[in-house]
Amino acid sequence: MRIVELTQDAVPLFKVLKFEGLVNSGSDAKLLIDEGRVSVNGQVETQRRKKIRDGDVIELGDEALQVTLAP
């Protein structure tokens, strides 16, 4: 599991996927979310703009991201 540090408290899910390099673009991220291929905290997430916060775990395929808030 990879640790991801956010500099702000609530970041849209599609942006986290894009900025962490799990997808090539925001539109790719949105498509994967729409298809139900992304989970947050163990549940399939279909909201593109789902706010990701400290402690959330995002999973896409074999990748897992543990989100923390940078001090």
What are the structural domains, with CATH classification, of the chain?
Answer: 2-69 (3.10.290.10)
What pTM value is reported for the model?
0.93
Tell me: pLDDT of 10 over 90: yes
pLDDT in tens, 14-64: 999 999 999 999 999 999 999 999 999 999 999 999 999 999 999 999 999
User: How many beta carbons lie within 10 A of that of residue 23, not counting itself?
Assistant: 19
What pLDDT is recorded for position 42?
Answer: 97
- Cβ neighbour number for residue 9 with a 10 Å cutoff: 10
Look at residue 71 and tell me whether its pLDDT is greater than 90: no
Q: What is the pLDDT of residue 39?
A: 98
The pLDDT assigned to 45 comes to 97
